[in-house]
């Protein structure tokens, strides 16, 4: 555990990027309490800036946790770290700055050249983030990486497949210039759930490494596939323009898959705590 915490702290650039996101999120929350409303006319929404900044901060910290398990060369690793830092900080700044000014940072109706330029910069930055994580995904799926830390890399592979779904949802939002589709479809749910896969499945793999459970790879495969089924169900429901809270055969499948995911994680966590309790008891004896 100490070695893993030390490795995490060694990712200073990614850790700092995550902290920038959290600090910006706290700043936006303070601005909301100061103003007394989340809406900044004509288009700004402070709550969107809060959720965006916290989400991107968490994603950067997740990346920092995963980096020690990915077999980057020194040059490629530094290139990736710098790319994440630069693109994330630009996104955080634009999201915060524009919403406080009352301008939608992505799809502004403003005819001001300044806002149009910043909107284009935001779009370009989003594409660079996708390219940066495609580079990360390529590294994770290299055969040599699997031998570096097989269970964790397997979990990260499933997590990155889920993340690619999220990026696809982001492109979908950009194409529509809106998060809404059909009567009740909201693409932002698919966008968010995809990103959480890179936290949920690697955490499952990491917990398994702390347990004495057999067939660990099988459990990672099952968890990863179940989470991809959740993404697929949400994607289909959204594509037909329905809310994910509207009951249907597709969403029933997604609900069941998500419940099974959390049952499996709870099962593994229970075994980890049980093993730890047993080890502590032996030390006392």
Q: What is the pLDDT of residue 2?
A: 46
CA dist., res. 241 & res. 206, Å (int): 37
What string of pLDDT tens digits covers the 285 residues of the chain? 445 555 666 799 999 999 999 999 999 999 999 988 899 999 999 999 999 999 999 999 999 999 989 989 999 999 999 999 999 999 999 999 999 999 999 989 988 999 999 999 999 999 999 999 999 999 999 988 877 678 999 999 999 999 999 999 999 999 999 999 999 999 999 999 999 999 999 999 999 988 889 899 999 999 999 999 999 999 999 999 999 999 999 999 999 999 999 999 999 999 999 877 755 545 544
Q: What is the pLDDT of residue 115?
A: 95
Q: Which two tokens stand for residue 147?
A: 């031998």
State pTM to two decimals: 0.92
Residue with tokens 């990863």: 224
Q: What is the pLDDT of residue 7?
A: 61
Contact 84, 66 (CB under 8 A): no
- The three-state (H, E, C) secondary structure of the chain, written as one string: CHHHHHHHHHCHHHHHHHHHHHHHHHHHHHHHHHHCCCEECCCEEHHHHHHHHHHHHHHHHHHHHHHHHCCCCHHHHHHHHHHHHHHHHHHHHHHHHHHHHCCCCCCCCCCCHHHHHHHHHHHHHHHHHHHHHHHHHHHHCCHHHHCCCHHHHHHHHHHHHHHHHHHHHHHHHHHHCCCEECCCEEHHHHHHHHHHHHHHHHHHHHHHHCCCCCCHHHHHHHHHHHHHHHHHHHHHHHHCCCCCCCCCHHHHHHHHHHHHHHHHHHHHHHHHHHHHHHHHHHHHC
Q: Which residues pair with 180 in a beta bridge?
A: 186
Q: If we measure between CA atoms, which residue out of 148, 145, 189, 152 comes closest to residue 169? A: 189
CA distances from residue 260 to 12, 38, 118, 156, 237 in whole angstroms, order as listed: 36, 36, 43, 19, 20
């Amino acid at each position: 555990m100490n070695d893993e915490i030390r490795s995490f702290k060694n990712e200073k650039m990614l850790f700092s990027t995550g902290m920038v996101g959290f600090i910006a999120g706290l700043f936006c929350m303070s601005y909301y309490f100061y103003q007394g409303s989340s809406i900044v006319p004509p288009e700004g929404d402070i709550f969107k800036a809060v959720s965006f900044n916290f989400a991107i901060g968490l994603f950067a910290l997740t990346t920092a946790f995963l980096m020690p398990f990915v077999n980057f060369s020194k040059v490629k690793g530094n290139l990736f770290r710098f790319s994440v830092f630069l693109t994330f900080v630009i996104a955080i700044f634009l999201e915060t700055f524009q919403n406080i000014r009352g301008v939608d940072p992505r799809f502004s109706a403003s005819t001001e050249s300044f806002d149009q330029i910043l909107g284009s910069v935001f779009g370009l930055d989003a594409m660079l983030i996708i390219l940066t994580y495609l580079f990360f995904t390529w590294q994770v799926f290299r055969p040599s990486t699997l031998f570096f830390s097989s269970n964790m890399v397997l979990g990260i592979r499933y997590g990155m497949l889920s993340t690619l779904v999220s990026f696809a949802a982001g492109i979908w939002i950009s194409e529509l210039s809106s998060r809404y589709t059909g009567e009740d479809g909201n693409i932002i749910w698919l966008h968010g759930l995809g990103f959480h896969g890179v936290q949920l499945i690697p955490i499952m793999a990491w917990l398994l490494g702390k347990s004495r459970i057999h067939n660990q790879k099988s459990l990672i495969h099952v968890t990863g596939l179940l989470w991809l089924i959740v993404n697929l169900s949400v994607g289909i429901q959204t594509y037909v323009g329905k809310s994910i809270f509207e009951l249907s055969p597709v969403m029933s499948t997604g609900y069941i898959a998500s419940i099974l995911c959390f049952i499996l994680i709870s099962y593994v966590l229970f075994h980890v705590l049980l093993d730890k309790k047993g080890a502590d008891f032996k030390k006392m004896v």
